[in-house]
Structure 1
């Protein structure tokens, strides 16, 4: 790496150190300086195998789905762009859009990870066959290019992705957050392919995969070579996934420093520099666009020692997990970060995108390997049991995109050969194996981080272990030393989770008082074949207040967040929102045979069943609850009554009203749209937006003169600019860039005198976005008297 780049990294760390000390975070710079890549080592690849459990069941369901998919159909666009005959019809959903090809990368990673996790030869054979086809496509092109993404021209013609990078290389850069020169996030899509190829090389030993990745990296390098730093930063304004991480990994795998230099060209300064300086500027940023940037910084630190980027990675992880995350470990609302410590205001039906959580787990694993800090494992376990496990339907191949936190909602799943969202791809990967975070080694010290039934067979260390566990239903764990060569194992360090209650530890049937250090119980002895460790956790029900509102809480038992079962997903919800009295955690009885707990509540005096959140497939549920005493409950009800009274007053003043996005209301108001315009639902309010090139319009009617047009928006809506016209006359140009509060807001636009009298055909309202922006969403429109 160039000396000036190293100096820049030192300057970033110095800036962070000064900021941290000024904020009173005296220990933070010392944490970063103490980071040592590889401090906690993973067991040898393939040495950990899952035993029967719900984790093994999830892997089996995923394998069935992987075998159901047709690789020829996923390769369709790759073959077409290489001038080769396709081997199957392209899939639908996102695979029929310009982001086509992203699923193949995820699929290749999943196959490779599945092989690494349990030695599945069929998965390896399928991965090898895909790599062979990708090599054939690359050879047909002759320049290293291989891709499935495309671009759609204004006349509807679909063209291959090469044209995008021909333009970019000439300095013609048109970058929007998710579009680069008209193609949907091509670097994001390429990252999935790079990651799949690198996983095929690492997990399956496929040398051709590495060669294809090198050829593609060479193509990318040549196309970006003419761009200066400012131009490259402009390119990075479009989502680019984990390109820096994959290129750094390619550098490590080949020993070629040019790929690390290319990886560093993908450092997005406007995002990473504030983080390295200790500033949380994540509000209104697309969450999963940012997380892979920190993964790239983390892998880069491991290779070139830039502690400024290591500081950015740690600060980002701490801010997201501590100030932007929900009880289940997920983050984001409608895919975006919000103001820190506002989770209680964003308990909606569009929370917790799965891609984010998978990437946060990966970032936490980097940090844990550098430090051994138990907090990274605590978060990993929370997100794994509650978000990851909930994301795949037990029948396999059906995945959620968002995981709603709003009471009365239910998870919605993809169809196995339907949508091919990003979260379908990450779903394949996250359920391909669960064996990579159970154990770790600090020299000859074994850390047991997750209590998942498994075996560890590490021939190089001369160690064989077997772990059984009744978690999460009950709290018994047993770890048997099947065999251990002399000196192979100095200590066993057992994580004592924050949810454990009392933890009783026995070695060979005798209770021991193991000393505790940094969240672990330490057992040191001369370990022999057949030694048996038993742990008993009491698993009390815990109340966990929401960080920004202690009156809003979630419940936890063991590693699992408890959710109230509100009935079948295909039946209407009765609308009765559960609330919890003080001391409710002491009212739960022991779980039944099905793992459920029941309790009588003031809101549900006949009893309400609670279950681990991950288990509530095809059910409506509640995760967050108001935690009231009687006085607080009365104040809450009074506030809700005041809101209803305000809404009734607005309706009395209204000559007419439309609910955009509601089919019946739109039909009654002669609704029409052009281009990209979509009905949306947010917080159970229907709405409608329009994207660049689109528009929508409707007619409001009344028999008396009107003075105002009123529109409802979400107060933190951003990057929205649009014109509002009435009967062809622009009456307002609205800019929504947030800052109007974490609630719906209503804006009144005065009507010009010439438009106030009732027109014969009504008031025709048109909403049209500026070029490069969206309009709305509009969640209601009223025609009002003075």
Structure 2
């Protein structure tokens, strides 16, 4: 394929001893200009069917079992509420809260259908299959009531605020009334994204539960969209597709694959928004300031078009996107994005916040990784998969409660916010239901003559192709010893066993077959054993686990600690209560040598001298569910620490002061933020300026949103670019309809981001739980851009 893989991580920083500068979790395996994936085992592969894998005791099995309990605690009738009522059928259960009580209502049902089907395949739980059948029957009934193939549960908000059924948006769009952008399409929240979830759930119901009703519903739903698409010009459809559409292109390609009807492939290819996808197909990283999870499913869809059509040119974008995200946009735990948006490449050190690493993004990146792996087996792909699956996916699910996070914070002392059982239903609750129903899906892979082991998760496999049962026992990643044994074999048979050797491995690999040492010579990222296998055969693989550090490319002195594939983090305090300690740091010329293991605890290490302001204990990050931790730490030499300690402490104080006084903040120009704060606007458009999202405001328009309030004196802070200050333009800010006086807009200053602060009259805020902020432009010119508005508690007088 042209490019040979470099099996080692990037250059080690001489100044820091063990620090590695480069991409978290994967080797720099690709040429900068993209190109085909190289190396690998040279054999087309598919995952072993999920139903042929059973998990053995491990954190992954714990997650599956707790998730199963959560899935069975939910009511299918409550999730079907809007589907039935909008079709004129009586509800059998009250609608759930959270997002299910918003205009994105109905999206959870698709996730739930997928999760139940996957859980049936993973565990054999008959109740899960029964629920799948019930939901499929209900959707068929709803569809029959509509009569035209339509079936959905989303709603839409009228201009007067009234909530109505969502189907009306399609007739409006067909008549040329298209109001599309970001998350909103004619008053509905991402309706095509919503439809994609329904399609995906129906397909999973057919795949894992052999449910024929599900495919019939999907075909009829596709027919509704075939008619809808036929009434739109390409220009109109492009306008529609500026609103998030999930992986609807994948849905149509999947219909083509399952029915053999090429008309669906035509719909898939039309579901292509040129501004986003054209640069990626041209191998250009144009991702900065784009909403991350809006894009990932589109690339999976392009890959599915490639598979169904046989046209490999559609693989270019997905391959390049995977490289760009994993090499230049990913955090050490494998997640990506800040406040749901990509930033400029190699700038993650500037985006360590409480709003990093949306779970949906990683859920979809793992799907994309599996897809690309089937095109050309390459162990590098599973170096990333393992990293994200272990350190992010497990971190986003509490095995004690079965609840989920939306974000997994990378900010020091950040706290994971957990969903509630019945009143959240965020997108990440939906993908969480799925993720923890299928932990066995990527352990074992099969080629024509080879059984691949890509993940070291305790499990039992029936490999139907050879009629053999394998068992894998291991405490990896806490221990590097992995034992595989043939438990059953109908007859002795020859085939290859390919064991992935992770790219982080340094040192001697141990390999024994039936107790006898054999040479372990990795080739293409795998150790391969080619022999006749019999019942009772055993393979013992030992992967040396060692401490090492990694650092972002652009910030080599910002380090994270890893033990094998597992990311460790400094355990700072419980998540409960206030936390106002100084951020920890490391002062040493050799990070790794300063750590010692803590006796009696697995994968727990403690600094001996390097910790500041005190010695630190590092534990597996994923398992710090209810703890505050430090994932990235600044590392200094003794000389640098002496010089920088004062500045470091002052910056920490300033940041903590802002954070402590912040009551609420809206980051303008970001879809989710604006939606969460109920933004209303006219003659105002989101934009990106100098790498930051913001919102322009034109003459005659306005922007209005709601901020949470709190008792006591309050200050409103507005962020602008200094050269665009509306100082002389007569811009007004109204609080609950009252115009603020004494606005001291910043004068033109050296080019930089600046803040304008104004104290709010206490009489306006007393007893208020929220405030409506309205910004009205003055003059005839554009005002702003405005990048954020923050409500702060006023500093105490002694400060």
Q: Smaller-chain TM-score range? A: 0.7 to 0.9
Deviates more, 1:689-698 or 1:235-244: 689-698
Deviates more, 1:250-259 or 1:179-188: 250-259
* Conservation of the 8 A alpha-carbon contact between 2:41 and 2:524: no
The one of 517, 521, 546 equivalent to 1:540 is: 546
Structure 1 residue 132: Cα displacement: 0.7
**Do residues 391 (structure 1) and 402 (structure 2) align?**
no
The one of 428, 431, 434 equivalent to 2:436 is: 431
Q: Distance in 1 between matches of 2:532 and 2:284?
A: 48
The one of 598, 617, 620 equivalent to 2:625 is: 617
The residue that corresponds to 1:517 in the other structure is 523
1:597-626 Cα shifts (integer Å, max 9, x gaps): 222344357642211111101111010011
Q: Distance in 2 between matches of 1:291 and 1:182?
A: 24
The residue that corresponds to 1:671 in the other structure is none
1:737-757 Cα shifts (integer Å, max 9, x gaps): xx988xxx21569x9xxxxxx
* Conservation of the 8 A alpha-carbon contact between 2:678 and 2:706: no
**Do residues 403 (structure 1) and 408 (structure 2) align?**
yes
**Do residues 504 (structure 1) and 510 (structure 2) align?**
yes
The residue that corresponds to 1:95 in the other structure is 100
Q: Distance in 1 between matches of 2:32 and 2:336?
A: 28
Q: Distance in 1 between matches of 2:502 and 2:492?
A: 28
The one of 633, 643, 663 equivalent to 2:641 is: 633
The residue that corresponds to 2:380 in the other structure is 375
Q: Distance in 2 between matches of 1:714 and 1:562?
A: 38
Q: Distance in 2 between matches of 1:477 and 1:443?
A: 24
Q: Distance in 2 between matches of 1:508 and 1:659?
A: 64
Q: Distance in 2 between matches of 1:644 and 1:594?
A: 32
The residue that corresponds to 2:311 in the other structure is 306
| CA distance 1:690–1:404, change in 2 (3 Å) | farther
Q: Distance in 2 between matches of 1:697 and 1:609?
A: 38
* Conservation of the 8 A alpha-carbon contact between 1:343 and 1:546: yes
After superposition, residues 6-21 of structure 1 pair within 5 angstroms as: none
* Conservation of the 8 A alpha-carbon contact between 2:336 and 2:342: yes
Structure 1 residue 178: Cα displacement: 0.3
Q: Distance in 1 between matches of 2:482 and 2:108?
A: 38
1:286-317 Cα shifts (integer Å, max 9, x gaps): 00000001010011110113333201101000
Structure 1 residue 345: Cα displacement: 0.7
| CA distance 1:302–1:677, change in 2 (3 Å) | closer
After superposition, residues 650-665 of structure 1 pair within 5 angstroms as: 661=663
The one of 58, 62, 70 equivalent to 1:53 is: 58
3-state SS of 1:410 partner: coil
Taking CA–CA contacts closer than 8 Å with sequence separation of 6 or more, which of the two structures ends up with the larger relative contact order?
A: 2
* Conservation of the 8 A alpha-carbon contact between 1:769 and 1:775: no
| CA distance 1:394–1:601, change in 2 (3 Å) | farther
| CA distance 1:123–1:782, change in 2 (3 Å) | closer
**Do residues 456 (structure 1) and 467 (structure 2) align?**
no
The residue that corresponds to 2:145 in the other structure is 140
3-state SS of 1:481 partner: strand
After superposition, residues 113-124 of structure 1 pair within 5 angstroms as: 113-124=118-129
* Conservation of the 8 A alpha-carbon contact between 1:331 and 1:351: yes
| CA distance 1:168–1:136, change in 2 (3 Å) | same
Q: Distance in 2 between matches of 1:327 and 1:403?
A: 12
Structure 1 residue 48: Cα displacement: 1.3
Q: Distance in 1 between matches of 2:462 and 2:50?
A: 10
The residue that corresponds to 1:13 in the other structure is none
| CA distance 1:710–1:254, change in 2 (3 Å) | closer
The residue that corresponds to 1:582 in the other structure is 589
Structure 1 residue 499: Cα displacement: 3.4
| CA distance 1:436–1:122, change in 2 (3 Å) | same
| CA distance 1:187–1:531, change in 2 (3 Å) | same
1:708-741 Cα shifts (integer Å, max 9, x gaps): x9843599x9xxxx9841657998999xxxx988
Q: Distance in 1 between matches of 2:136 and 2:655?
A: 60
| CA distance 1:537–1:765, change in 2 (3 Å) | closer
| CA distance 1:740–1:39, change in 2 (3 Å) | farther
Structure 1 residue 484: Cα displacement: 4.0
3-state SS of 2:597 partner: coil
Q: Distance in 1 between matches of 2:655 and 2:627?
A: 31
**Do residues 77 (structure 1) and 119 (structure 2) align?**
no
The one of 43, 46, 62 equivalent to 1:41 is: 46
Q: Distance in 1 between matches of 2:137 and 2:598?
A: 52
Q: Distance in 2 between matches of 1:181 and 1:166?
A: 11
The one of 291, 295, 300 equivalent to 1:295 is: 300
**Do residues 777 (structure 1) and 782 (structure 2) align?**
no
Aligned residue pairs total 703
TM-score (norm 2): 0.81
**Do residues 345 (structure 1) and 353 (structure 2) align?**
no
The residue that corresponds to 2:267 in the other structure is 262
| CA distance 1:546–1:58, change in 2 (3 Å) | same
| Unaligned runs of at least 5 residues, structure 2 | 1-29, 666-675, 681-693, 710-715, 734-738, 766-770, 795-799
Q: Distance in 2 between matches of 1:343 and 1:29?
A: 25
1:253-286 Cα shifts (integer Å, max 9, x gaps): 1111111111111112211111111110000000
Structure 1 residue 550: Cα displacement: 0.6
Structure 1 residue 662: Cα displacement: 6.0
| CA distance 1:689–1:400, change in 2 (3 Å) | farther
| CA distance 1:126–1:782, change in 2 (3 Å) | closer
The residue that corresponds to 1:768 in the other structure is 775
3-state SS of 1:191 partner: helix
3-state SS of 2:355 partner: coil
| Unaligned runs of at least 5 residues, structure 1 | 1-23, 652-657, 664-673, 679-687, 700-708, 752-757
TM-score (norm 1): 0.82
3-state SS of 2:442 partner: coil
* Conservation of the 8 A alpha-carbon contact between 1:676 and 1:690: no
**Do residues 599 (structure 1) and 607 (structure 2) align?**
yes
1:5-52 Cα shifts (integer Å, max 9, x gaps): xxxxxxxxxxxxxxxxxxx949844549x9999911221451111111
| CA distance 1:68–1:312, change in 2 (3 Å) | same
Q: Distance in 2 between matches of 1:357 and 1:331?
A: 7
1:42-74 Cα shifts (integer Å, max 9, x gaps): 214511111111101100000000010011100
3-state SS of 2:548 partner: strand
* Conservation of the 8 A alpha-carbon contact between 2:40 and 2:377: no
| CA distance 1:166–1:646, change in 2 (3 Å) | closer
Q: Distance in 2 between matches of 1:587 and 1:530?
A: 44
**Do residues 480 (structure 1) and 485 (structure 2) align?**
yes
**Do residues 555 (structure 1) and 561 (structure 2) align?**
yes
| CA distance 1:37–1:231, change in 2 (3 Å) | farther
Q: Distance in 2 between matches of 1:414 and 1:27?
A: 41
* Conservation of the 8 A alpha-carbon contact between 2:132 and 2:205: yes
3-state SS of 1:550 partner: coil
1:377-422 Cα shifts (integer Å, max 9, x gaps): 0100000000000111112431100100011112110111111100
The residue that corresponds to 2:704 in the other structure is 694
Q: Distance in 1 between matches of 2:50 and 2:653?
A: 63
| CA distance 1:359–1:137, change in 2 (3 Å) | same
3-state SS of 1:694 partner: strand
**Do residues 608 (structure 1) and 627 (structure 2) align?**
no
**Do residues 490 (structure 1) and 480 (structure 2) align?**
no
Structure 1 residue 695: Cα displacement: 4.6
Q: Distance in 2 between matches of 1:46 and 1:360?
A: 23
* Conservation of the 8 A alpha-carbon contact between 2:37 and 2:378: no
Q: Distance in 1 between matches of 2:102 and 2:42?
A: 40
| CA distance 1:149–1:769, change in 2 (3 Å) | farther
